[in-house]
Structure 1
Amino acid sequence: MYKYSVIEIRNLEPLKIGAIGRQSKYSEPSTDYIPGSTIRGAIIAQLIKSGLFNDESKNDFLLGMECYNAYPYAEGHLYLPIPMHLRVDKHEWRKIKKTMNNDGEITLADLFEVESKIGESKIKNYPEYSFVTEENGCLRGIKIAKEYRLHHSTTKNRLNEDAEKNNKENDNSRERENLFRYQAISVGQVFRGIIKYNLKIEEQMRDLFKEKRIIYLGGSKGSGYGKSEMECLSESLTDFEEVKKTLGIKLDLKDNDEKKNEENEKNEKEIKELVITCLSDCIFRDKYGQPIGELPECYFKKVTNKKAELKNKFVKTGCTEGYNTTWKARYPKETTLKAGSTLKYTFSEALNSDELKKLKEYLEEKLIGSRTQDGYGWLMVNVNYPKKMFIKEKRVTVNFNNGSNIDLDSILSEDERRATFNVLLNGMGEAKKRWLNMLCFRYFENAGNENYIDNSDERFYISDKLNTSQLKNMEDIVDKWLNCDNQEQKKLIDSEEIKFNRSYYRIDEYVSVAGQNFYQVMEYLCGRKPNNEMLESFAEKKLNTQQGKLFYFDKENKERNKEFIADLLKHGLYIKRRGGI
């Protein structure tokens, strides 16, 4: 017998939880959620601190507690990984986003339904959002706020035993001075997850969750990362449908009348197909212990005693990650099915409504496969996903400890406060620079992300084919524009000193800001073509954020748009020239 507790986590400091388990190009991307293994480690640390985890009880916790992944939560909705069988046409996405000002809807293609036409269909792109929920009969996506922080490690000399004996320095043990950056989840994000535990440790879990707790999650906890607040929203639940309601899962929950109607329909028409969605990464093995890319047949036979055959699947594989601080080593890597993978099965004999209900409960109410203690193996069965998706994502407002939000619009509307902010901004040059660097890194990394819809009107791209001299030429031109007055800026495009006849200035594949090449950007900045809607829209989207409003609050709309694009372009060219990404 198991019970469930639903927990909510709000991070009070940035969360550094690596997505690939290693640093690449002096950086490490972050996850968009909190893995179950991370939550499990934090809970065990709290149990140790409370004196509940000792030599006698540790096996009860290690074997009797499973921690699900905690996913983004906002305004009553839990956002779950988007299934991989739902696709969009990226050209249609761009068209709707541009013409309907992001408020439109797009029709989704279910590749299970059009699988015979996949080769002909153009609807094969992944949606832009990794996490979705149901809202008013449509899917709504969400983007997790992230930030980059620059860190500096100094030179250290470490001596091995032989070197110590000989009083000699081992050159191989020298750590070079290095600049590197971490990507982290920004402060104030909210996540919800499940803790499942057996009755033997129920009393200890009640003691643990009787009040809010400060926990530390992820890496670099001593460097300003990881501090979070954990609260138990409900404990000792036994009905998994109630667990899903408390979590805020909207995709699979229906009114009682709707459920009765569906059950009546199923009684009349028995079910022969089953679609399984992986809500977390899953590790499945066959009877010989070998990793496989599907749910083993034994799980179906155990409940229905009927043979199931894999008809089709849309999956992505990955590897497990993780670091054990006690061992000071990474976990061995194992092959996984990534969250969002979908598997479609057909049964040789049809399932009646009772068999379907038992199978659904069996697969959903427990984690399936290996490493379930760390949150692997969370499944949902026959989810009725909407056929449409909102183009506009959910905007997350960052809440602070006092429960209030910063409203920059009202603050900056008062002249006295504007003057104060003007003084403060003079000392915030480094913060503005970090923000621009973060935007550049994010744009450049998205350009290589296969799941990212390449919206040219929202893209900032600089090719690796440009050499240092070419990058420096363009950087100097933008820098000169930034240091000119208005009259000189207008004359810059026709300057005899600067000749815009070089081919790489006019080719989108080399430099592209919102679909405009370098020369087109300069025409806009210099006022030759001031009404460039694509560049205006690109700038306004970023300047309507909290950081954008703050760093450019003292400029008129037209001027701040131009200055932002020039600043961003200059930083991007500098980063590329210095080999930053």
Structure 2
Amino acid sequence: MAKYLTYDIEALEDIKLAKTNVQIDSQESMEYITGSAIRGAFIYEYIKKNSISDINQGIHKEKLLKGGIKFLNAYPVKDKYDERSIPFPKCYFAPKNDIKSFERYLELKLGIDNKLDPGFERIRIAEFSKYDNGEYDIVKVKKKSNLHINKSRNKNNLFRYDSIKRGQLFKGIIKVEDEAYVDEVIELFNDAVIYIGGSKGSGYGKCKITNMKSENDNPEYLMFRGKYDFEDYIYLYAMSDIIYRNELGEYKTFIEPEYIREKLNLKKVVYIDSSIETKPLTNFNNKWNCRTPQIVGIKAGSIFKYKIEGEINEEVLKEFVDRGIGEKKADGFGRVVLLDDIEEISKLKSYGDENDTKSDLHELLERLRPEDEKQLKDMVTMIFKKRVEDKIAEKVLDIDNDLEGQKELRQSQWGNYKDLFTEMLYKEPYEGIKYYQEFIENIKTKGSASKNSSYKQLSRIKYRDRDFVEFLNDFVVNSNNVDSFYSEAKVKRIEIGKIKSDVDEKFVYQMNLKVLIGLCQYQIRKEDDK
């Protein structure tokens, strides 16, 4: 008879567990400890205790390689008294603006088999959560970021990597298929110090397992007690990533209704809808000394909805949930539960403390050398400049909205001003400003005798409560004023501790000229569209 062992695992050192999609200049950490990482630590302890040279034989193979002992993922918790968290369900959506401004509470709407208003987006701000009476409380994983400086000219100089911060707590589950293995697992693992992830022995990966207990029932099944009163519909909830193959051996991100019907002994099952995310999956094969081919799996938290005909037997349901779906179940993949309902309206809550993040950032910045600080300053400045350029069109529209009488200036004259500002763009700031002032003075003098000169056309346009030409003169004269630019910019200056984004007057001048060029182009385009 199968047994389940639950346990706590605490990070005594930072843990490096890289996601599959590692970037060339950064490496993000997972937010949980994978079953495969825990399984690897167990095999190491098993070999050490039993003095085994080959686990590919006899009872060792049955236990360790054929799934006699299965290691589920260890998910984060806020404190040791909490239940193991769950992957946040991918079926919830909220208005985009509400997600951006989310701090404490966010109302959620179910996106499965339900038409939502325009502007709703899937919730991606929570990987794990506590489930409590239909509401979800975000469980955040404390992380630490480090900058690595590579002096090799053939590689990127700056590389950022994340790690799970020491002190973070997780709760894990081990499924033991034979009750006879229980005592051995507890003896090996309870109160054991193990090493997880990358850079083991270099100040990373040290963890301690405590509070190991044996349970008769599946803890994931018990977590949703009261949600198994099935009538017409079932919801399949992925409690871990799933690697699923159909009958033809093809990897799929869709679980066929026929598969569900067969496993649950139902008369009929019809697929209704789903809300899923996919995930590229691979691992490192020590025997081949390379990574295995990447496949696409179903990400934890994904939801499928089916309509059913027939009764679901409780024992059949427990067996289905216990067995799981798909491949690599010994490493924690394929864990699912079936629910009778998912709340159409729910809430997401967050009570995270920002002090830990600020403390980590301060610690990181204190370790930077002067040359590192310069590289970081260059990076944040580059990001700031890109954000400023992205806001030029918005600035153009803001000015246009406050203009009255734009039609007073002919399209050809808007074109002339565009050419003027374009020519100024390639001059030094003071030279360009002087060039503009001479130009305006010239057309003002030449046009004094004409009723419809270029300058008089320009003078008929109003900007807010004054003449547009007056606004234009002030705008150009101050076009290289850095302090004024910071105060009026639509983009906040980036600050990371003592390091700030920094721009010079030439950049400010060029951005302001691009705004004026864009304004002229917009007036010309409006006329062309008529």
What interval of TM-score do these two structures reach, taking the shorter chain for normalisation?
0.5 to 0.7
Asked whether 1:570 is paired with 2:504, we answer no
Q: Can you list the C-alpha shifts for 1:367-394, whole angstroms capped at 9, x where unaligned?
A: 2211111111010111755533244344
Alpha carbons 1:280, 1:376 under 8 Å: kept: yes
- 8 Å contact from structure 1 (residues 278, 342) kept in 2: yes
* Alignment of structure 1 residues 51-450 onto 2, 5 Å: 51=50, 55=54, 56=57, 57-60=59-62, 61-63=64-66, 64-75=68-79, 76-94=82-100, 97=102, 102-103=103-104, 105-114=105-114, 117-118=115-116, 120-135=117-132, 138-152=135-149, 178-199=157-178, 201-209=181-189, 211-235=190-214, 237-241=215-219, 249=223, 252-253=224-225, 259=226, 266=229, 271-296=231-256, 297-347=258-308, 349-351=309-311, 355-382=312-339, 385=342, 387-395=345-353, 428=366, 430=368
Superposed CA deviations along residues 307-348 of structure 1, whole A, max 9, x for unmatched, are 31211111111221222345432122222011111101112x
Which structure 2 segments of 5+ residues have no match?
391-424, 426-476, 505-530
1:479-498 matches, cutoff 5 A:
none
The amino acid that maps onto 2:500 is L
- Count of aligned pairs: 405
Which of 12-21 and 564-573 deviates more? 564-573
The 8 Å contact of residues 21 and 322 in structure 1, kept in 2 or not, is answered as no
- Residue number in structure 1 paired with 2:26: 27
| CA 84–234 in structure 1, closer or farther in 2 if over 3 Å, else same | same
Sequence identity, in percent? 24
1:274-307 Cα distance to aligned partner (Å, 9 max, x none): 1011111101111111112222423431332423
Match of 2:5 in 1: 5
8 A contact 1:219–1:226 mirrored in 2? yes
SS of 2:167's equivalent in the other structure is coil
CA contact (8 A) 1:108 1:388 kept: yes
Could you give the per-residue CA deviations for residues 234-261 of structure 1, whole angstroms, max 9, x where no partner exists?
02x22225x766xxx4xx24xxxxx4xx
What is the distance in 2 between the residues matched to 1:316 and 1:213?
36
Indicate if the aligned counterparts of 1:44 and 1:53 stay in contact, CA closer than 8 A: no
Q: Deviations over 1:97-155 (max 9, x none)?
A: 4xxxx44x3321011252xx24x443333152121112465211122111122335566
Q: 1:28 to 1:380 in 2, by over 3 A?
A: same
Q: CA deviation at 1:192?
A: 1.0
State whether residues 84 and 172 of structure 2, in contact with CA within 8 Å, keep that contact through their aligned partners in structure 1.
Answer: no
SS at match of 1:88: strand
Change (3 A) 1:362 1:439: farther
Change (3 A) 1:290 1:30: same
| Aligned counterparts of 2:21 and 2:264: Cα–Cα separation in 1 | 37
Residue 98 of structure 2 aligns with an amino acid whose one-letter code is E
Q: Which residue of 2 aligns with 1:488?
A: none
- The offset of 1:504, in angstroms, is 9.2
8 Å contact kept, 1:143–1:395: no
Distance 1:154 1:439, change over 3 A: closer
Given that 1:148 and 1:434 are in contact with CA atoms closer than 8 Å, whether structure 2 keeps it comes out as: no
For residues 111 and 432 of structure 1, what CA distance do their matches in structure 2 show? 50
Q: Secondary structure at the match of 2:319?
A: helix
Amino acid at match of 2:84: L
Aligned position for 2:409: none
Q: Does the 8 A contact of 2:136 with 2:349 survive in 1? A: no
**SS of alignment partner, residue 463 of structure 1:** helix
Cα distance in 2, alignment partners of residues 11 and 397 from structure 1:
19
**Distance 1:93-1:203 versus aligned 2 partners, 3 A rule:** closer
The residue number in structure 2 matching 1:499 is 481
Taking the aligned partners of 2:176 and 2:387, their CA distance within structure 1 comes to 52
Where does the alignment leave 5 or more consecutive residues of structure 1 unmatched?
Answer: 156-173, 254-258, 399-407, 409-423, 448-459, 471-494, 522-563, 574-581
Which residue number in structure 2 is paired with residue 47 of structure 1? 46
1:300 touches 1:359 (CA, 8 Å); kept in 2? Answer: no
Hey, what's the Cα distance between the residues in 2 that align with 1:365 and 1:147? 35
What's the CA shift for 1:221?
1.3
User: What's the offset of the Cα at 1:206?
Assistant: 3.3
Deviation at residue 92 of structure 1 after TM alignment: 3.1
TM-score under structure 1 length normalisation: 0.60
Deviates more, 1:184-193 or 1:47-56: 47-56
Question: How does the TM-score come out when normalised to structure 2?
Answer: 0.65
Distance (Å, rounded) in 1 between the aligned partners of 2:284 and 2:267: 41
Whichever residue aligns with residue 275 of structure 1, its letter is Y
Summarize the Cα distance change of 1:124–1:149 in structure 2 as closer, same or farther, 3 Å threshold: closer
CA contact (8 A) 1:363 1:381 kept: no
Contact 2:260 2:269 in 1 (8 A): no
Shift of 1:52: 6.5
Could you tell me how far apart the structure 1 residues matched to 2:91 and 2:147 are?
Answer: 38
- What is the letter of the counterpart of residue 240 of structure 1? N
Would the aligned equivalents of 2:148 and 2:159 in 1 still touch at CA under 8 Å?
yes
CA-based RMSD of the aligned residues comes to 4.2
- 2:375 and 2:213 map into 1 onto residues whose CA distance is 42
Moved more, 321-330 or 499-508: 499-508
Using the TM superposition, give the Cα deviation of residue 34 of structure 1 relative to its aligned residue in structure 2, in angstroms: 0.8
How far apart, in 1, do the equivalents of 2:338 and 2:244 lie? 17
Residue aligned with 2:270, SS: strand
CA distance in 1: counterparts of 2:132 and 2:140, whole angstroms: 16
Q: Which has the larger radius of gyration?
A: 2
2: distance between equivalents of 1:144 and 1:437?
28
- 1:78-104: CA deviation from partner (whole Å, max 9, x where unpaired): 221111111111323456x4xxxx44x
